[in-house]
Each structure stands twice: as C-alpha cells, then as structure tokens.
Amino acid sequence: MSEHVLQVEGLTKTFGYRTVVNNVSFGVKRGEMFGYLGPNGSGKTTTIRMALGIIQPDAGSVSILGSPPDWSILKGVGYLPEERGLPRKLRVLDAIRYLGRLKGLTFAEAEDRITELLRQVNLYEHRKKKVETLSRGMMQLVQFVTALVQDPELIILDEPFAGLDPLNVQLMKEMLLERQRAGATIMFSTHIMSDVEELCQRVALIEEGRLLLFGDLAEIKRQRGANSVQVQARGIPDDLADARKEVTGNGVVAYAIEEGRTPETILRSYLDAGIEVERFELALPSLNDIFIEEVSHARSVS
C-alpha cells in the first residue's frame, strides 16, 4: 500500500497566455490533514481540479488512491468545491441522496448516512426544505455533508471555511478531526493560516502557480529559527520602551528579533534594570509570518 493517497508530479496548466499552475509536485500522506495554502488566484483550485480529473493538465501526472483519476476511483473521494453547486430546486434530503447514490450508496445506506450527518450539522429539521431556501452558510454545510456522505477514504475541500460563522467553522473542524481519527485523509485549501496551524501536520504553499514551500509544518518553522522573544516580567526596561513589541493579555511581552536587538541584548536589558524575569522564551515564526515573507519575496522577484 502506497504511503501517499494523492501524488502530483510536475502539474502544469495554462489558460491562454497565463500559466496558472507551473510544474507543481507534492504528495499527501495516508491519514494526515494536509493544508494547501496560497493567496486568492494563486492556482489552488486549478491544482485540485486537475488532481480530481475535472480538468486535464497540460503536463504532469496525478495518482489518486493509487491510480489516475477516473470515475471508479473517485467514488472513494469526497469533494467540496470552491464554487458550491447543489441542485437548488431539490429538497436537501433529495439532493444529498442523489449525490450519494452517484457515489455508489444504496438507498438505505444513503438514508442512514444522511440522517446521521444532517443531525451532526444541526440541519436535520431542514431536510425537507428546498436547497434554494437555505442561507448561504446552511448551503455550505449541506455541500459539506455531500462530501462526507459515502464515508470517503480521501476528503478534498476547497476553501471549506469561507463564509461560515465561527460556530459552524468549529463544528466543521471537529467533524474533520473525527474523520481523520477514523482513518480518512484530508486535504484542504485556504488562505487562512490559523486554520492550517490548528489542523495540519504538513503543508504546501503556492503563489502565482509556483510551489514555494512543501513539507512538515513544524520543521519549516524550525528551519526559519526564532523571530521573537517572549518575556514575562515585573516591568519593562527603559531602553526597551520603544522597541518593536507586542503585549499580550497575560502580561507577556513579545519582542521582535532584529538587527541590533538579539535575545541576549533583550535579556541583558532586564537584568541590568534589576527587573525580575519570570519567563524568557524564544518563539518560532507563525505560519502567517512565513506566508507573508515567502509570498512577498516571490512577488518582489517575479
């Protein structure tokens, strides 16, 4: 059994004179939660559509669940597209059942699974309403249910949290973690870094169609090294009063490490001022810091 449930090699796609995905390669490992990051318009959705066989690449190859994408293989894949597309005139129950049957479920299997999932997303009471009468957030949850209805081995979600209120975002995250614990592999695209830091073990970052980063998130942070120092103490030295810093609600002060201000000089300022230091820690950069640095650099040299 292959380590990867999704492997793309050298994927390239051009529309007109614009190359929207340029020689992109990465793999998604079995059982992981994988984040595919990038600004709006960076090529995330086009990559996903090529991986699923919705559009054909101009160059490169895809292996999904051990084979090139085709209908028989894709029955094992749950997909939430960026552009939500439910049959609006159908009732919620009928729309999900129709898509579940296309994925190979029997009528009875579909009924049981739909009932279970609609209860989980608090939409069971809306099951007989037409899709077009639902709010945008409700429609998104129904589409999410269709991605899970056949209990897929691989779940691919394109901007899954966009437009949802915080309660439903948390609900969706909990359901995804539950599916991961049950053995599913999950890949989602986003430009919201906090969601990735919370959920993902490994990431890939794309900008203007080119892959900028790919690998283990913790290792990527370690390779960058500390970019700030967090200090908890009974005051702030006078010579650090104007330093670039952020004060958190629990009294911890985070100082940016920059030229002329190292962890050693920051600690020395506290000691020289006679201020008792309760906590002093080097802090690795956030994924948001890395994202901004990588994308800004890529744009400056393009």
- Under CATH, which architecture does the 4-218 domain have? 3-Layer(aba) Sandwich (3.40)
Does residue 302 have a pLDDT over 80?
A: no
Closest by Cα among 68, 84, 205 to 143? 84
Length of the chain: 302
**Among 194, 185, 116, which Cα is nearest to 157's?**
185
Domain boundaries, the chain: 4-218, 226-283
Structure confidence by residue, pLDDT tens digits, 3-19: 899 999 999 999 999 99
pLDDT score recorded for residue 298? 85
Mean pLDDT along residues 282-301: 86
- Evaluate whether the domain defined by 226-283 bears CATH number 1.10.287: no
Q: Which tens digit of pLDDT belongs to each residue from 125-136?
A: 999 999 999 998
Residue 149 has what pLDDT? 95
Instruction: Give the span between the Cα atoms of 264 and 267, in whole angstroms.
Output: 5
Q: Which two tokens stand for residue 282?
A: 């080097």
pLDDT of 301 higher than 80: no
Q: Tell me if domain 4-218 and domain 226-283 are identical in fold.
A: no
Cα 170 to Cα 138: distance, rounded to the nearest angstrom: 14
User: Between 287 and 83, whose confidence is greater?
Assistant: 287
Both tokens of 286, joined, read 């956030």
Given pLDDT bands bounded at 50, 70 and 90, which one contains residue 300?
confident
What is the mean pLDDT of the segment spanning 262-274?
Answer: 90
Average pLDDT, the chain: 91
Token pair, residue 277, equals 């230091």
Of the chain, the end-to-end C-alpha distance in Å amounts to: 40
In the prediction, which pLDDT does 116 show? 96
pTM of the model: 0.86
Q: Which two tokens stand for residue 143?
A: 């589409």
Tokens representing residue 239 in the block: 């010579």
Please name which of 204, 185, 157 lies closest in space to residue 76, comparing C-alpha atoms: 185
